[in-house]
């Protein structure tokens, strides 16, 4: 037998090459993905892993699933059915502590992740035709980069938000290190500042709360530092959505010490989770509604409201005159350093809603708890989407050409809302600087007038916004076709990962 080193992407990995009548066995590449616990993150990360696997048959992926902080089972147990080259490894749900911060909870799972990756590395090392090429971690799992360092493996980041916000993270770090500007000091100001990934000045009051508090600001700086140490950042984005951000990351503004950014979106999960009766009932109701007549309200896995705020929403819906599908859940408690357990169901609708509301809207509205969001947005009956502006939800809405009304809650959602409303014109505003998290105490009440205004604007049939949304929908679909921007970036990832793990040796034999 003879072993030779070659440049990995010189060969098509779907073929067996003949060299002097000797077959060349192409080495298979293994990647480990570590999504953070949370339905939105695991779904988008799983979809990305599947996209990479489907793009090249040399590649296999193992996803290490961290269980939910608030239950005794994996938060994504539906994603545990392994396929040929897409496998799942579930971290045991032991020592769950719902009082930990989200970040410290992930950190506490590092020993289990280390053990799982080490076992996989040992297994791969026993196979002559395979190579463990790297670890791909979620943007909230940067503590897991230590595991990759211990095993001398290249690391990549899955960034489940947009490139403009990624640019904000790097810019905030640079402002602090180069100009000693601490943006947490801008919390109660009306200051606007330049951001290289945006075309206009950005208001500080739309920064996420973790950037506007002294306690958490060091974490923001540390995460940006961790990002810079990786081999690449995979962003769930279509390049055509944020050209200014891509210009910055391509080096057009002289930025240094930032790894390559790959826009591989839109990464979306179309998994239906079965044909359960609740889902079927919702879709049956939608099929009975006229085209573009229904406003859909849904606020993500952690989105819920107080009784007072719920009544304001109800008043707004009734005044708007539009049909509605409303995913209504009760607000989770806000405690120190975190939002508490996920929102619960509202079991006493008559007590929470305005008197007679259910009777007056029985023919025009439907209130639900859980929503099959993708299937709902796909329905021709949906005319607009009142959303918390989670990045997955934004992409899903744009994919189906549904205008949005922006009502952010926490995380980077205020930034996303600003992007959609002010910069891109893809959403109407409910209240783009609203926030409900552990740093603001009890939030202000968004009035029925504000909500009604946002709904009516988003539901307007011949608006400029609806036209822009339709144009963006087409761009998202084209990006994933052969020759599209995202398709090219996906191929770049597949080509570059093996090179980062060093020379690949190809086994040649006379068999």
Q: Is 138 marked active-site?
A: yes
Would you state the pLDDT for residue 415? 93
State yes or no: cis peptide before 450, omega within 30 of 0.
no
Residue 492's pLDDT band, with cuts at 50, 70 and 90, is confident
Rounded distance, CA 233 to CA 442, Å?
36
Residue 334's pLDDT band, with cuts at 50, 70 and 90, is low
Rounded distance, CA 56 to CA 496, Å?
13
Q: Kindly report, residue by residue over 418-431, the tens digit of the pLDDT.
A: 999 999 999 999 99
Q: By C-alpha distance, which of 354, 304, 301 is closest to 334?
A: 304
Rounded distance, CA 268 to CA 473, Å?
14
Q: Kindly report, residue by residue over 274-290, the tens digit of the pLDDT.
A: 558 888 999 999 999 99
Rounded distance, CA 457 to CA 405, Å?
8
Q: Across the strands, what pairs with 326?
A: 297, 367
pLDDT for 24 beyond 80 = no
Q: Is 41 marked active-site?
A: yes
Rounded distance, CA 212 to CA 219, Å?
12
72 or 352, higher pLDDT? 352
Rounded distance, CA 130 to CA 193, Å?
49
> Catalytic one among 7, 57, 84, 138?
138
> Residues 26-35: what's their mean pLDDT?
88
Please, are residues 389 and 420 in contact by the beta-carbon 8 Å criterion? yes
> Catalytic one among 41, 171, 322, 388?
41
Would you state the pLDDT for residue 341? 57
Please, are residues 270 and 354 in contact by the beta-carbon 8 Å criterion? no
Rounded distance, CA 147 to CA 210, Å?
25
Q: For residue 108, what is the enclosing H or E element?
A: helix 102-108
pLDDT for 321 beyond 70 = yes
pLDDT for 501 beyond 90 = no
Rounded distance, CA 263 to CA 253, Å?
18
Q: Across the strands, what pairs with 87?
A: 62
Would you state the pLDDT for residue 416? 95
40 or 149, higher pLDDT? 149
Q: What is the mean pLDDT of the chain?
A: 84
pTM, entire model: 0.87
Q: What domains, with CATH codes, occur in the chain?
A: 2-159+486-509 (3.40.50.2000), 163-269 (3.40.50.2000), 277-472 (3.40.50.2000)
pLDDT for 486 beyond 50 = yes
pLDDT for 398 beyond 90 = yes
Would you state the pLDDT for residue 9? 42
> Residues 478-506: what's their mean pLDDT?
76
162 or 253, higher pLDDT? 162
């Amino acid at each position: 037998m003879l072993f030779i080193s070659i440049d990995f992407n010189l060969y098509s990995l779907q073929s067996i090459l003949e060299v002097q009548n000797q077959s060349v066995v192409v080495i298979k590449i293994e990647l480990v993905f570590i999504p953070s616990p949370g339905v939105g993150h695991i779904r988008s990360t799983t979809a990305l892993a599947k996209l990479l696997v489907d793009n090249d048959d040399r590649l296999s992926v193992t996803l290490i699933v961290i269980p939910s902080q608030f239950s005794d089972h994996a938060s994504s147990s539906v994603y545990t059915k392994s396929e040929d080259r897409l496998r799942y490894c579930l971290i045991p749900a032991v020592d769950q502590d719902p009082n930990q911060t989200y970040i410290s909870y992930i950190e506490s799972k590092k020993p289990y992740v280390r053990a799982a990756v080490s076992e996989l590395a040992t297994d791969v090392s026993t196979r002559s035709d395979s190579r463990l090429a790297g670890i791909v971690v979620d943007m909230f799992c940067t503590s897991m980069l230590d595991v990759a360092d211990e095993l001398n493996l290249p690391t990549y980041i899955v960034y489940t938000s947009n490139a403009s916000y990624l640019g904000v993270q790097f810019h905030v770090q640079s402002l602090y290190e180069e100009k000693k500007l601490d943006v947490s000091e801008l919390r109660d100001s009306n200051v606007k500042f330049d951001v290289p990934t945006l075309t206009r000045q950005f208001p500080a009051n739309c920064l996420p709360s973790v950037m506007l508090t002294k306690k958490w600001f060091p974490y923001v700086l540390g995460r940006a530092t961790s990002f810079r140490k990786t081999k690449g950042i995979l962003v769930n984005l279509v390049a055509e959505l944020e050209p200014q951000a891509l210009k910055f990351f391509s080096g057009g503004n002289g930025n240094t010490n930032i790894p390559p950014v790959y826009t591989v979106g839109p990464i979306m999960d179309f998994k239906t989770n079965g044909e359960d009766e609740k889902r079927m009932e919702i879709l049956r109701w939608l099929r009975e509604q006229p085209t573009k007549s229904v406003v859909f309200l849904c606020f993500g896995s952690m989105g819920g409201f107080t009784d007072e705020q719920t009544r304001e929403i109800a008043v707004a819906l009734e005044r708007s005159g539009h049909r509605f599908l409303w995913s209504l859940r009760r607000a989770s408690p806000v405690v120190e350093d975190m939002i508490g357990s996920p929102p619960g169901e509202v079991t006493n609708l008559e007590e929470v809603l305005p008197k007679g509301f259910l009777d007056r809207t029985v023919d025009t509205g439907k209130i639900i708890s859980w929503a099959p969001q993708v299937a709902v947005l796909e329905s021709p009956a949906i005319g607009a989407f009142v959303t918390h502006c989670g990045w997955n939800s934004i992409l899903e809405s744009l994919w189906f050409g549904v205008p949005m009304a922006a009502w952010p809650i926490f995380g980077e959602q205020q930034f996303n809302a600003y992007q959609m409303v002010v910069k891109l014109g893809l959403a109407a505003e409910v209240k783009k600087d609203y926030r409900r998290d552990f740093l603001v105490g009890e939030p202000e009440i968004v009035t029925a007038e504000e909500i009604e205004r946002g709904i009516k604007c988003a539901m307007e049939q011949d608006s400029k916004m609806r036209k822009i949304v339709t144009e963006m929908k087409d761009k998202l679909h084209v990006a994933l076709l052969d020759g599209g921007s995202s398709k090219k970036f996906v191929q770049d990832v597949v080509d570059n990962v093996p090179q980062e793990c060093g020379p690949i040796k190809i086994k040649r034999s006379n068999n």
